[in-house]
Chains A and B, each alone.
Chain A
Amino acid sequence: MWLAILILILLLIGTPVGIVLGVGGLFGMYQIGGEFFMQVAPSKIFNGLNIFPFLAMPFFILAGEIMNHTGITQRLVVLSEVLVGHFRGGLAHSNMLASVFFSGITGAATADAAAFGRTLVPAMKKQGYTGPYACAVTAAGSIIGPTIPPSGLMVVYGSLMGVSIGGLFATGILPGLLVCAVCMTIIASSGKRKNLPISGRRATLLEILVAFRGSLLALIMPIIILGGILFGVVTPTEAASVAVAYALFIGTVVNPCMSWPILYRMLVDTAKLSAVIFLIIGTASIMGWYLSFMQIPQQIAALFVSLTDDPTLILLMIIGLLLTIGMVLDINAMLILLAPLLVPLTAEIGMDPLHAGIVFVLALNISLMTPPVGACLFVLSSVTGERLEAIAKELWPFLLGELAVLLFIAFTPKAALFLPRLLGF
């Protein structure tokens, strides 16, 4: 009880999430076995991070940073504009499409939200979209990136739960595209009512071809990353390192813009970004140890099963829990704390591990943009200066659409598993 109060207070006064989990975990250990138990903490941090596939995370971040610097990602925005820019609400549509194109390069929703918030939101405002609407579209699109592979969250999930990361990557493609399609439908259907701007004429075939050629190098990158992993040729870590090599090749040979100081800065920044995530993973491992010592997973599972034995209801409860807690806690921490609690339950109701994995990842990603405290909303609000409440108001239709995709994926395992099965996972 005291532990819960301590955690809540620390969270509310703005203590970094990694520290909250660490302090909470230490406090819990002290309650069980005094200082003697607390001494275990460093080994929990070390072992929580001593995992080879985790290397894929910093490498994907690094590759994305280099690609951004080469300016090639900018051409992806141009490509999506020539493809869908002429519809009503063209820039909103191209924002969504660009999220899909970007998804093969980056793997973190908040980074996507920050990048788009700085570039696409001002462009949309200039054309006559309201600020909150532009932010809502960007927030809705930002979860496409980490749903379509590569995705840092899938790397963590796969490594921790012993599920094939390649398989998770394959499973993520369909829901990612579905989210894009649903959001574009929502934009199109509300276009007239909201009087969304029309930016101009349809691009000619030649213009499309030129834009396509310009972004070809960026489009190849996901093929290199995913192709290798999905066909089982390389491990995710190897693929991520090849992606770094490919991005460096573009940055030095094709479009020379890299220098040693720039590369050094990127290496350090990548390490810092990863450090924030790794600290959370490490301290969540302390907390996770405490939870499993107290047999909390078994208690929660027993509670769920005692409430109902209907698999549908259990799955709904799991999704509800993920969405609620995901609103306040970092999603990596959530995975480490909740996956061991909930995944056995999904196995009990007969879910395939890959299927359970994608439901987890998608639910956690959606929680990133759920008001009142979704991280993507915060990033967008602070980057653009729009008020959180105003963005949240415009976000509802998209949020409902994405929840519908989540439920569809959760309750039609055949569709969810079609692609991974096709690829032999």
Chain B
Amino acid sequence: MRKWMQTMSLRLNGANELLVGVLMGLLVLDVWAGVLDRYLIHWQLNWVEELARYIMIWAIMLAVPCAACSRAHIGLDLLTRKLPLAGQRLCLFVADLAMLLFFLYIAYAGVNFTAKGLAQLSTVFSTPMAFPYAAIPVAFSLAALQTFVLMIAGTAPVADEGGN
């Protein structure tokens, strides 16, 4: 069961990263298009900035679960690293639980937030704001899922993970 969860989590993360990578690529291309347009072609593309903001939010929010997966969201371990192993595990568990609950709540509240966005239109595209808003519930439910798997399947405290 544990093994199966880890494999599924890794596969999910792989797909998640692929999406993040593609969106980041699009983001770079979009801003390049904006620069080319402003200084060379002068087509007055008015959608570049809005599109860039929404892709950025989707790309970077979707990277939150990837970062959770590799424990890249770091906290202070000044105190916990001095505790005995059992204490370290307990701290890690409570910290993970706080993270899980936070992700879950934002995912839940994010659904309502997105639903409200169905009625609002974006300035340039005039599409519902629900499209960019949806990044929040999607990313945070994925992050909650990954944190949950991490809590169940990977329990060893990571003492020397520092840096990136």
A and B from one assembly? Answer: yes
Where the two chains meet, the residues of A that have a C-beta atom closer than 8 Å to any C-beta of B are 10-20, 22-23, 26, 38-39, 41-43, 45-46, 49-52, 54-55, 58-59, 62, 110-111, 114, 234, 237-238, 241-242, 244-245, 264, 267-276, 278-279, 328, 372-373, 378-379, 381-383
Across-interface contacts of B61 in A (CB, < 8 A): 49, 275, 278
A270 to chain B, nearest CB (A): 7
Say whether B63 contacts A274, CB under 8 Å: yes
A–B pairs, 5, beta carbons within 8 Å: A13-B94, A16-B73, A20-B98, A58-B27, A62-B24
- Which of A267, A271, A372: most chain B Cβ within 10 A? A271
Q: For B109, give its contact among A14, A39, A372 (CB under 8 Å).
A: A39
Contact B78 A58 (CB under 8 A): no
Question: How far does the Cβ of B117 sit from chain A's closest Cβ, in whole Å?
Answer: 9
How many residues of chain B are within 8 Å of chain A by beta carbon? 59
**Which 5 A-B pairs rank lowest in CB-CB distance, beginning with the nearest?**
A382-B162, A275-B63, A16-B73, A271-B63, A267-B24
- Known A-B contacts A16-B95, A20-B75, A382-B163; the reply to A42 vs B136 at CB < 8 A is yes
Q: How far is the CB of B96 from chain A (nearest CB, A)?
A: 9
Contacts of B99 in A (CB 8 A): 15-16, 19
Give B6-62 interface residues, CB cut-off 8 Å to A. Answer: 17, 20-21, 23-25, 27-28, 31-32, 34-35, 38, 49, 52-53, 56-57, 59-62
Flag if B95 contacts A13 (CB, 8 Å).
Answer: yes
Nearest residue, chain B, Cβ from A6: B98
Known: A52-B53, A272-B70. A41 touches B75 (CB 8 A): no
Assembly CA distance A117 to B88 (angstroms): 27
Question: Is the CB–CB distance between A12 and B76 below 8 Å?
Answer: yes
- Residues on B with beta carbons closer than 8 Å to the beta carbon of A381: 162
Q: Among A110, A269, A272, find the residue whose CB has the most chain B CB atoms closer than 10 A.
A: A272
Contact B162 A52 (CB under 8 A): no
Pick the residue among A11, A241, A269, A272 that contacts B75 (CB under 8 A).
A11
Chain A interface, >50% SS class:
helix
Instruction: Chain A residues near B101: list those with CB within 8 A.
Output: 23
Alpha-carbon distance A279/B65, docked complex (angstroms): 11
Docked-complex contact B73 and A279, CB < 8 angstroms? yes
Quick check: B31 and A241 within 8 Å, CB to CB? yes
Complex Cα gap A22–B106 (Å)? 9
> B90's closest neighbor in chain A, by CB?
A13
Apart from A52-B53, A58-B56, A276-B73, 7 more pairs, CB < 8 Å:
A16-B95, A16-B99, A17-B75, A46-B113, A55-B52, A272-B72, A273-B72
Task: Tell me if A18 and B73 are in contact (CB < 8 A).
Answer: yes
Given A54-B56, A267-B20, A372-B78; A276-B72 close (CB under 8 Å): yes
Q: Which residues of B contact A38 (CB under 8 A)?
A: 105, 109
Q: Which residues on B sit within 8 Å (CB–CB) of A15? A: 75, 94-95, 98-99
A26 to B109, CA, bound (A): 11
Report the separation of the CA atoms of residues A405 and B91 in the bound assembly, to the nearest whole angstrom. 40
Nearest chain B CB to A397 CB, angstrom units:
24
A282 and chain B: residue at smallest CB distance: B61
* Cα separation A49 to B133 with both chains bound (whole Å): 11
User: What's the nearest-Cβ distance from chain A to residue B55, in Å?
Assistant: 9
Q: Which of B74, B79, B80 has the most CB of A within 10 A?
A: B74
Q: Is the CB of A46 within 8 A of B106?
A: no
Asked if B112 CB lies within 8 Å of chain A CBs, one says yes
CB distance from A82 to the nearest CB of B (A): 29
Q: Is the CB of B31 within 8 A of A238?
A: yes
Contacts of B59 in A (CB 8 A): 271
Q: Tell me if A58 and B60 are in contact (CB < 8 A).
A: yes
Judged by a CB distance under 8 angstroms, whether B92 is at the interface is yes
Interface on chain B toward A: helix, strand, loop, or mixed SS?
Answer: helix
Q: How long is the Cα–Cα vector from A41 to B162 in the complex, in angstroms?
A: 30
Contacts of A269 in B (CB 8 A): 164
Contact with A along B112-123 (1 / 0, CB 8 A): 110000000000
Closest chain-B Cβ to A27's Cβ sits at a distance in Å of 10
B92: chain A residues at CB < 8 Å are 14
Are the C-beta atoms of B160 and A382 separated by less than 8 Å?
A: yes
Interchain CB contact under 8 A, B21 and A275: no
A127→B63 CA distance, assembly (Å) = 41
Evaluate contact between A26 and B163: CB separation under 8 angstroms: no
Q: Which of A22, A54, A278, A383 contacts B162 (CB 8 A)?
A: A383
B125 CB within 8 Å of chain A: no
Is there an interface contact between A49 and B63, defined as CB atoms closer than 8 Å?
no
In Å, the complex CA distance between A267 and B94 comes to 32
Q: Nearest Cβ in chain A — how far from B30, in angstroms?
A: 9
On whether the beta carbons of B64 and A279 are closer than 8 Å, the reply is yes
* A114-B161 Cα distance, complex, nearest whole Å: 12
Residue ID in chain A nearest B157 by CB atoms: A14
Mask for B138-164, Cβ within 8 A of A = 1, else 0?
Answer: 000000000000000000000010111
**B112 to chain A: closest CB distance in Å?**
6
Contact present for B163 and A114 (CB under 8 Å): yes
With A46-B132, A58-B56, A271-B60 as contacts: A13 and B28 at CB distance below 8 Å: no
A42 touches B76 (CB 8 A): no
Query: Are B163 and A14 in contact, CB atoms less than 8 angstroms apart?
Result: no
CB of B35 within 8 A of CB of A41, answer no
A10 to B79, CA, bound (A): 12
Q: Which residue of A lies closest to B32 (CB)?
A: A241
